Amino acid sequence: MTTKPKRLLLLDTPSLYFRAFYGVPESVTAPDGTPVNAVRGLIDMIARLVQDRSPDRLVCCMDADWRPAFRVEALPSYKAHRVADDGGDQTPDALEAQLPVIDAVLDAFGLARAGVPGYEADDVIGTLAVRGAADGPVDIVTGDRDLFQLVDDAGPVSVLYTARGIRNLQVMGEAEVAAKYGIPGRGYGDYATLRGDPSDGLPGVPGVGDKTAAALITRFGSVDGILAALDAGTTDGFPAGARKRMEAAREYLASAETVVRVVTDIDAPELAKLDDRLPSEPRDAEALVELADTWNLSSPVNRLLNALSR
């Protein structure tokens, strides 16, 4: 008897609660006046995703370290512009106050929540995507294009990109990435390394824009392929001036590879025994009722309960 493949939904939770925080007015508050816009928005997003995607498994992936030491060591500019005066990140106070509530609500529902010290949510997603694809299709929900590097039609692993909202998700597989960026479908990480990404403090190779980056990745397949061509003295396939720029950027390319590449092989106890089964009822109904009453969450909590019970 053939076992039915089980669909896994991996949530880039920080991406979603930031989107909720800026998308839902801060005037949405608890009875004591505390903003709960991010909490309510995130719960509603999960309810919509469960209803529309019908996953069998779901993990809320978290940042245990938003700026990991191994990435900063490789490239000190990595997210440096986001560092606050106290050395932490620049999460707004009104959002920071909601994060413990988010954790408590997810736990009361019994939704799997996973973060690993020293790693970002992206790395947790990468590891769980590779591992989870053995049991069925994997959908990654994010507003972060860096995760396009994980698409894999053979998995299959797809990204549900939230740029247009949860109701208008863009399903990105290898064909969609190739069509949008003019690169091999699994080449987004190498493409981003060359082009750069100011939002992450990734400078890119000076003088190399979208078109040149796409041409180089299409011709040589990866940053490693470009470096191998440089070592071999190859001149064919380099757009005008690009070979010289690549030679000058060797040190950056070696460092950026560590920064851009999502980790897919985390070996940590936090992931070893993770129960990612989607619950049909809350793990702690009493705690959930108390949280809903305290934080004015009854409506979104009921919507998620209804979605889970179907």
Q: Assign residue 198 the CATH number of its domain.
A: 1.10.150.20
Q: Are residues 211 and 82 in the same domain?
A: no
Q: 30 falls in which pLDDT band (50, 70, 90)? A: very high
Confidence at residue 2, expressed as pLDDT on a 0 to 100 scale? 53
Do 154 and 22 share a domain, yes or no?
yes
Tell me, yes or no, whether 110 and 220 share the same domain: no
> Within this chain, do residues 47 and 134 fall inside the same structural domain, yes or no?
yes
Residues 208 and 115 in one domain: no
Give CA angle at 222 (203, 265), nearest 5°: 90
Closest CA to 67 of 139, 109, 123: 123
Residues in the chain: 310
Asked if residue 277 and residue 247 are part of one domain, the reply reads no
User: Residue 16's CB: how many other CB atoms inside 10 A?
Assistant: 23
Q: Give the count of domains, the chain.
A: 2
With cut-offs at 50, 70 and 90, classify the pLDDT of residue 86. Answer: confident
State whether 240 and 150 are in the same domain. no
What mean pLDDT do residues 21-48 have?
97
Say whether both 114 and 212 belong to one domain. Answer: no
In a domain, 242, yes or no: yes
Say if 205 falls within a structural domain.
yes
Residue 101 in any domain: the answer is: yes
CATH code, domain with 28: 3.40.50.1010
Q: Is the pLDDT of residue 57 over 60?
A: yes
Backbone angles phi, psi at 248, to 5 degrees: -70, -20
Q: Which domain holds residue 206?
A: 188-260
What's the pLDDT at 1? Answer: 46
Tell me if 119 is assigned to some domain: yes
pLDDT tens figures, 63-75: 999 999 999 999 9
